[in-house]
Amino acid sequence: LGWVNLPAGLQVLTHPYVLAASGFMCFVEFFTDKVPGVDSLMDTVQTFIRIPAGAILAASVFGEASTAAMVAAAILGGTLAAGSHFTKAGSRVVINTSPEPFSNWAASFSEELAVGTVLWLAFAHPLAALVVLVLLIALMIWLLPKVWRMVRGGVRRVLHWVESPVRNAPADRTNYE
């Protein structure tokens, strides 16, 4: 479409196969993101896609530049991808424990609105998009430890319930007549 001039290392992103695969994954994500449990399963699978992709994309920006710059970019890109991925995945685990059915839909549509807004800002007002990006990174840094504590607490409660002696005790065969 010619909207953005990509660095040489990122030209592969314009290939029809890459665009088709990305579009298909967005389509799948749009629907699976709204089903409690299924979204967490998809987040688990995408752990092995999002983080390496973030590292590779960041390193690719430098193309033929120095190896040190590529490695530094890969480390930063992978770290940002991991942070955003685990914040999203962890918050979805917390949301999935909510007893009402609408929080998943609200979270999913909010994420989609945020992505659309930031993309629009990136094209229309790049400096504003940069400010929003910095604020979102700060929010992620603040939120990730809290989400992680909630997920760990939930896992501990489930393990405690599974290992509970009352739950695992043999049934009482006493006749109460």
The closest of 54, 120, 60, 119 to 88, measured between CA atoms, is: 54
The closest of 31, 55, 54 to 104, measured between CA atoms, is: 31
DSSP state, residue 172? P
**Distance between CA atoms of 114 and 133, rounded to whole angstroms?**
11
Helices (H), the chain: 16-32, 38-60, 67-96, 102-124, 126-163, 165-168
Read off the pLDDT of residues 95-109 as tens digits, 9 standing for 90 and up.
Answer: 887 777 788 888 889
Q: What is the pTM of this model?
A: 0.73
Confidence of residue 81 (pLDDT cuts 50, 70, 90): very high
**Distance between CA atoms of 17 and 25, rounded to whole angstroms?**
12
**What pLDDT does 33 receive?**
87
**What pLDDT does 165 receive?**
67
Confidence of residue 22 (pLDDT cuts 50, 70, 90): very high
